[in-house]
A and B are shown apart, each in its own frame.
Chain A
Amino acid sequence: MVLSLFSAGYAASVAAHDLKFKLLFATNGAGATDVWEVSCLSSSTLGDSARLVANIKDFSPDDSNFISLVIYKDGKAVTSTDLVGGNDAYSPLVSVNAGNGVYTMIANHTRVGNQVYFIEYHCENAAGDHTPTTVPTTPVQDQ
């Protein structure tokens, strides 16, 4: 378990779709995994959602414990890993192109420890316009 959970500074994100200060718990071991579900919807002016775009930030200053985000829908998946914990940078933006519907976002890490993460996400249409996106208040699996 790390001695300190958090980096010293916290810069507020300007993105509206984000999950902040979420934890993977040491009690659930290195296999601790959180599962979130987000729906991408269609809009009468912007059309259908084409994809979900997201990335993850490791807020705990323990570089040996990498945190990753997996986006999954309809048999398609992609992974993004934050290789430096405790700074303000997110992992690379990744996306799954699977249209409207429910996308699953999975947060996991490589070692045992209480680890804080942030996720930024949004749905887009084919032109890159932000389409209606649901905002989950609780995960569907919380470890």
Chain B
Amino acid sequence: MDNSFAKTDADNNRVSSILVKYRPKLNANIQLQVEQASLKAVLSELSRVTGAVIHYSVLTDVFITATCVADNLKAVLQCLLGESQNIVYQYAHNKGQAGMPSEVWVLGSSLAGLTLQEDRGGVSCQGDRADLAAIPKNTKQADEKLVAQLIVKLESADPKQRADAIADLATKIAMDNIEVDNILLMAMGDKSARVREQVLFAWVYRNGRAAIFELQQALQDPVASVRLKAVDLAQDAAVLRLALLDGDALVRQLAEMKLNALNK
């Protein structure tokens, strides 16, 4: 069974294409080529073509471009979603794991923050963990020690020192460290605009597109450069549309440019 389609996303005027090739009788591999399509649409199409029912809870709303080729659905999903994704497969009783799974469950809500790599080579792809990979895998004790040092730095009178501490908290401490989240939330009220800008970056770095609420809040900041940073970091049309109403011309200009780029 082959399937190919191109469509225009109604909200964004975005041209998306999803191509899935699968010939079960020839025992051929599954070829998936996606161009600027939503993950929901991609999973739906994979499900339709392969016949496997794919269950999930929360999905990222990012548009993805990817190429995955593999000889089974499991490998294609690992390519698309990343190998660390927790996925459960149920196979038909009489075929074991050699055949196509009848049902697939993508567990948890981690798909909400997923980012994906693009593969122009058209052969293999993996989930893009570039941001996360940049964080060294310290021991919990090492993280605690570093956090303690950075908290001292955050008490500096020099905004640059505080901003540097925020950047280090964002990029050097494990993503699941709740203490860092609490520190960042408190630092959002720092008296220095430079620090608040860095906190916004830190929050987006650690939370991805789930940071939309904080970005919207930052658009209320009295200093234009902080609002400009929010627009700089924004990937969602909702934030950018809000920024079109900003009192600062530069903030509005950047929001308009980014919105136009999103719609192309």
Contacts and interface: CB of A to CB of B under 8 A. Distances in A.
Contacts of B96: none
B128 interface: yes
B121 A20 contact: no
B120 A122 contact: yes
Nearest to B209: A137
A41 interface: yes
Interface residues of B, number: 42
Contact of A21 (B198, B201, B257): B257
B119 to A, nearest CB: 4
B261 A10 contact: yes
Interface of A: 4-6, 10, 12, 16-17, 20-23, 25-28, 37-39, 41, 43-46, 102, 114, 116, 122, 129-142
Contacts of B124: 41, 43-44, 132
B117 A12 contact: no
A6 B194 contact: no
Given A23-B232, A27-B194, A130-B121, A137 B225 contact: no
A114 B118 contact: no
Judged by DSSP, the binding face of B is helix
B18 interface: no
Given A6-B257, A25-B228, A138-B208, 14 more contacts: A16-B65, A17-B120, A26-B225, A27-B194, A27-B197, A28-B194, A41-B124, A45-B122, A131-B120, A131-B121, A132-B119, A135-B118, A137-B208, A138-B131
Interface of B: 65, 115-126, 128, 130-131, 133-134, 167, 171, 193-194, 197-198, 201, 204-205, 208, 225, 228-229, 232-233, 235, 250, 253-254, 257-258, 260-261, 264
A8 to B, nearest CB: 11
Given A46-B121, A133-B120, A114 B128 contact: no
B58 to A, nearest CB: 18
Contacts of B171: 140-141
Given A6-B253, A17-B120, A21-B258, A138 B205 contact: yes
A136 B130 contact: yes
A116 B119 CA distance: 27
Nearest to A132: B119
B123 A21 contact: no
A141 B208 CA distance: 15
A132 B121 contact: yes
Contact of A44 (B115, B123, B205, B253): B123
Q: Which 10 residue pairs of A and B lie closest in terms of their CB atoms, listed nearest first?
A: A142-B201, A43-B123, A130-B120, A43-B121, A134-B117, A132-B119, A23-B232, A12-B264, A134-B128, A46-B121
